[in-house]
Chains A and B, each alone.
Chain A
Amino acid sequence: MGRITLNNVGKSFGAVEVIPPLDLTIEDGEFVVFVGPSGCGKSTLLRLIAGLEDVSGGQIRIDGADATGLPPARRGLAMVFQSYALYPHMSVRKNIAFPLRMAGMDKAEQDRRVAEAARVLNLTDYLDRRPGQLSGGQRQRVAIGRAIVREPAAFLFDEPLSNLDAALRVGMRLEISELHERLKTTMVYVTHDQVEAMTMADKIVVLNAGRIEQVGSPLDLYRRPRNVFVAGFIGSPRMNLITGPEAARHGAHTIGIRPEHIRVSDDETCIWKGEVGVSEHLGSDTYFHIHMAGRDEPLTVRAGGDVDLYHGDTICLKPDEAHIHRFDEKGHRIE
């Protein structure tokens, strides 16, 4: 079991309120991702759950029991750190066995669990090496191994992939997702990378300045962002946000439209007209950055790979009216 509930949990460092009191429920078996820009408090929130930081107020319950005052080890949670945080003077085997040794488990059971974790994570051949002799991906697998042997109520991941190179990151992302499929254990995952959030999460928690902006499934957030912040943060490339007369025409203060919901049309009946700035040809897709009169920021448009338009060309655009998101002056979504 691994149901985590935060009631009114807040954190201040001295006079600075990093996380205003918030409520959140993480269901058993869920893969929850905390996402937000740097300094939004997502790591702090994770550390509060882990017990590495003390809450300034509120209550943390794990499987119904009050865990607010418990030391980290007694919360039944395991954590994987950004820097892997392996013990450099111990072999991989000893690293993975460390939590079991601390729990006073008998040697035979330790060996069995370590062997099992190593098998699952493809580390069997590396058990006698030191962390310094492993690649980044292998180190991260050791860190995960050290977490799974404990059979915790929930896993906490603090930006575990941000030290890996891009190719490895995609691979590890899949591995962690597969691990979740297999173990069905609650996972709480912190990242600033919204692609990781979108691809891995059952539920995303978008944080900004310590506040929860929206909680929902990835597609929920993508299709119905509750406010301008979420609209701009979720999705890559970013949603185009437009204010001014064009927004007023739609009865809103701000309108948002995703790059894939703008069509490039070659007829003269264009709704928006602009000039092609930078174009990024990815083969399958092309992203055009369009400069339009009266707008400082270029408009991003996603087109097919076979659209041949280049820097300086004039372009005709048709937004898909059904996919225009409308927001009021406070940035809240208008239904």
Chain B
Amino acid sequence: MARATAPARKALTTAIAGTLAFVMFFPILWIVVLSFKSEVDAIRAPLQVLSSGWTLDSYGAVQERSDYFKHFWNSVIISLGSTFLGLLVAIPAAWAMAFVPGKQTRNVLMWMLSTKMLPPVGVLVPIYLLFINFGLLDTRIGLVVVLMLINLPIIIWMLYTYFREIPGEILEAARMDGASLREEVLYVLTPMALPGIASTILLNVILAWNEAFWTLNLTASRAAPLTAFIASYSSPEGLFYAKLSAASVMAIAPILIMGWFSQKQLVRGLTFGAVK
């Protein structure tokens, strides 16, 4: 018998969930509100902030002071580039681990994931020195490579989970039908895993888009993505709440919109394997 849920109880849990969601969303909402205020109004008490007048001045000022679109394109190139480069490495890796598992496969997976447990600052100096030596500082290609490496364990792990759901017999059938390894991956495995690959791409684009540690430390101006664009407004010159908020809204809007339209795919990606 299904568990009976009293209407009152249902209303209560809905209210609690709604409150929690609001609390979590509030900082973003507040940033949006502040971005439409003048600098003077933005630092007032919350109620006064709400009752003060609305303005687009901050957006104008931000666009005037720094080139939004340059940063935007840097973000797009870095996040998409690192994700697709990652896929090129991860699809064969995940294929091998899912369909030709060896005794050490699980250990290799754990080892790869364990690299995510290392605090990035621990390898900042060596990577920084490598960047200097190879002339990669403040270049987009340098960031593409670093972010690809940072997210690679997650890409491989996600794809591995998806691939394991694909029956091995289908790949064997392809092999019997004369498909080479490349054809097997291209015509059979990839199309079948497309939903999984799509979720993986989405999640990794978001991770790369929001990545701030490496992008801030390894860029100056030319390759600086939107994270650096935001950071430039929490400056030593003083606190510019309204402009900082406007910059933040401009930085997160694209990824928020993308996330909104691909919600279903994302949720499926994150819960895959749990309910099949």
Residues in chain A within 8 A of chain B (CB atoms): 50, 52, 71-73, 77-79, 81-83, 85-89, 98-99, 102-103, 146, 150
Q: Are A73 and B173 in contact (CB under 8 A)?
A: no
Q: Of B167, B176, B194, which one neighbours A78 at CB under 8 angstroms?
A: B176
Q: Are A85 and B172 in contact (CB under 8 A)?
A: yes
Q: Are A73 and B172 in contact (CB under 8 A)?
A: no
**Which of B41-49, B66-74, B177-185 lies at the interface?**
B177-185
Give min CB distance, A75 to chain B, whole Å. Answer: 9
* Chain A residues closer than 8 Å to B254, beta-carbon distance: none
CA A31 – CA B59 in complex, angstroms? 79
Q: Are B172 and A102 in contact (CB under 8 A)?
A: no
Residues in chain B within 8 A of chain A (CB atoms): 167, 169-170, 172-179, 183, 187-188, 191-192, 194
| 25 A-B residue pairings within 8 Å (CB atoms) | A52-B172, A72-B172, A72-B175, A73-B175, A73-B176, A73-B177, A78-B176, A79-B173, A79-B176, A81-B169, A83-B167, A85-B167, A85-B172, A87-B170, A87-B173, A87-B174, A87-B188, A89-B191, A89-B192, A98-B177, A99-B176, A99-B177, A99-B178, A102-B178, A150-B177
When A and B form their complex, which 8 residue pairs have the shortest distance between CB atoms, in order from nearest? A73-B178, A99-B177, A102-B178, A85-B173, A85-B169, A89-B191, A81-B169, A85-B170
Given contacts A71-B175, A85-B173, 11 further A-B contacts (CB under 8 A): A73-B176, A73-B179, A85-B167, A85-B169, A87-B192, A88-B170, A98-B177, A99-B176, A99-B177, A102-B177, A102-B179
* Chain A residues closer than 8 Å to B175, beta-carbon distance: 52, 71-73
Give min CB distance, B246 to chain A, whole Å. Answer: 45
Chain B, Cβ-Cβ closest to A81: B169
Chain B, Cβ-Cβ closest to A143: B173
Tell whether A146 pairs with B191 under 8 Å between CB atoms, given A81-B169, A85-B167, A87-B170. no
CA A248 – CA B224 in complex, angstroms? 94
Q: Are B183 and A102 in contact (CB under 8 A)?
A: yes
Give min CB distance, B15 to chain A, whole Å. Answer: 41
* Chain B residues closer than 8 Å to A146, beta-carbon distance: 173, 177
* Chain A residues closer than 8 Å to B167, beta-carbon distance: 83, 85
Give min CB distance, B197 to chain A, whole Å. Answer: 13
Q: Are B172 and A81 in contact (CB under 8 A)?
A: yes
CA A71 – CA B170 in complex, angstroms? 16
Residue in A50, A86, A98 with the greatest tally of chain B CB atoms within 10 Å: A98
* Chain B residues closer than 8 Å to A98, beta-carbon distance: 174, 177, 179, 187
CA A104 – CA B209 in complex, angstroms? 43
**Total A-B pairs, Cβ < 8 A:** 56
Chain A, Cβ-Cβ closest to B175: A72
Q: Chain B binding site: helix, strand, loop or mixed by DSSP?
A: helix
Q: Of A77, A82, A83, A89, which one neighbours B176 at CB under 8 angstroms?
A: A77
CA A81 – CA B174 in complex, angstroms? 12
CA A81 – CA B173 in complex, angstroms? 8
Residue in B172, B177, B178, B188 with the greatest tally of chain A CB atoms within 10 Å: B177
Q: Are A86 and B170 in contact (CB under 8 A)?
A: yes
CA A77 – CA B173 in complex, angstroms? 11
Give min CB distance, A95 to chain B, whole Å. Answer: 9
Chain B, Cβ-Cβ closest to A50: B176
* Chain B residues closer than 8 Å to A82, beta-carbon distance: 169
CA A81 – CA B169 in complex, angstroms? 7
CA A280 – CA B178 in complex, angstroms? 50
Tell whether A52 pairs with B177 under 8 Å between CB atoms, given A88-B192, A89-B192. no
CA A73 – CA B183 in complex, angstroms? 13
* Chain B residues closer than 8 Å to A89, beta-carbon distance: 191-192, 194
Residue in B174, B176, B179, B187 with the greatest tally of chain A CB atoms within 10 Å: B176
CA A234 – CA B187 in complex, angstroms? 43
CA A258 – CA B141 in complex, angstroms? 78
Chain A, Cβ-Cβ closest to B179: A102
Give min CB distance, A319 to chain B, whole Å. Answer: 47
Give min CB distance, B79 to chain A, whole Å. Answer: 28
Give min CB distance, B157 to chain A, whole Å. Answer: 24
* Chain A residues closer than 8 Å to B173, beta-carbon distance: 79, 81, 85-87, 146
CA A234 – CA B260 in complex, angstroms? 63
CA A260 – CA B183 in complex, angstroms? 55
* Chain B residues closer than 8 Å to A85, beta-carbon distance: 167, 169-170, 172-173
* Chain B residues closer than 8 Å to A150, beta-carbon distance: 177
Give min CB distance, A136 to chain B, whole Å. Answer: 15
CA A103 – CA B174 in complex, angstroms? 12
CA A71 – CA B175 in complex, angstroms? 8
CA A85 – CA B194 in complex, angstroms? 18
Chain A, Cβ-Cβ closest to B166: A88
Chain A, Cβ-Cβ closest to B192: A89
CA A72 – CA B178 in complex, angstroms? 7
Chain A, Cβ-Cβ closest to B190: A89
* Chain B residues closer than 8 Å to A87, beta-carbon distance: 170, 173-174, 188, 192
Give min CB distance, A71 to chain B, whole Å. Answer: 7
Chain B, Cβ-Cβ closest to A73: B178
Give min CB distance, A82 to chain B, whole Å. Answer: 8
* Chain A residues closer than 8 Å to B187, beta-carbon distance: 98
* Chain A residues closer than 8 Å to B179, beta-carbon distance: 73, 98, 102
Chain B, Cβ-Cβ closest to A77: B176
CA A79 – CA B171 in complex, angstroms? 12
Give min CB distance, A148 to chain B, whole Å. Answer: 12
Tell whether A103 pairs with B172 under 8 Å between CB atoms, given A89-B191, A89-B192. no
* Chain A residues closer than 8 Å to B174, beta-carbon distance: 87, 98
